Amino acid sequence: MIKILNQQPPSTPLSKVERAESLGLLRLSIVNRIKRRMKYVEEGVARVERASGITYPKYYIEPALPVVSSGVEIEELGILYARTIPLIGEGGLEIYVELSAPLILHAIRTTIHAVLAHEFLHYVEFVRKFTRLETISDELASTIFESRYFDSSKLYDAKMLFKDKALIKLIERRFSNGLVDEKLNQKVAKMWIRKRLPIVKLSPESSVIKLPISFILNAKFDPLLISKLNEWERQNSGVP
């Protein structure tokens, strides 16, 4: 299991990348290219905020390629270009979007936008579940909450959340049981995996995290998002 509770949230979106460069894990040329391409991340974040009316959660660039492996061969790796993860820092529980360095380096602009929007749906669903203590039953007595954060987990409905129809179509086109972008996969295999740049291997079991109930109950989520969630769900249920 990933030790999420002990992972300190990054101080800035690029702090982990800069540390990787200082430790000699990434070349300066790669770090500089990531910094140049951050404009596509910033554009995507702004687009999601305009489409939803909600502030995007904190995000950071992971200076490695997270993969899920059930074996030792490259062909058996499942790439995780991005994840939405609850982290606990000094301020308590917060939900972060993690974007992998290879995604930023090798994805086209529209793919980066689609990934950001897709992860935003995970973020909204996390907030919805946490604020309603959903899926908690026996775990409540033991003060443990289990939540799956890999891409198989439920997403909030993009059509209910976004006003941007082009963005909704982009998400639908790019995501079908994971990110569909063969050109990106080929580039990452050639330019990252085969060059033996940093990879973080995760087991399939690491898709479950455990959080103390006290952290969830004391978490301070975006009040505007909570208000809109209540409004959207009233409209969806037909309750006046």
Q: What confidence score (pLDDT) does residue 193 get?
A: 92
Which of the 8 DSSP states describes residue 97? E
10: pLDDT strictly greater than 50: yes
Q: Which residue has the higher pLDDT, 88 or 27?
A: 27
Most confident of 88-92, 130-134, 180-184: 180-184
Residue 229 pairs in a beta bridge with: none
216: pLDDT strictly greater than 50: yes
> DSSP letters of 5-45?
GG-PPPSSTTHHHHHHHHTTSS-HHHHHHHHHHHHHHHHHH
Name the pTM for this structure: 0.85
Q: What confidence score (pLDDT) does residue 194 get?
A: 93
Q: Where are the domains of the chain?
A: 4-234
Give the residue among 165, 94, 151, 77 at the shortest CA–CA distance from 118. Answer: 151
Task: Provide mean pLDDT across the span 190-203.
Answer: 90
Most confident of 54-58, 156-160, 228-232: 54-58
Task: Provide mean pLDDT across the span 100-109.
Answer: 97
- Over the chain, what is the mean pLDDT? 82
Contact 4/84 with Cβ under 8 angstroms? no
Q: Which residue has the higher pLDDT, 86 or 102?
A: 102
3-class state of residue 37 by DSSP: helix
CA distance linking residue 3 with residue 96, whole number of Å: 15
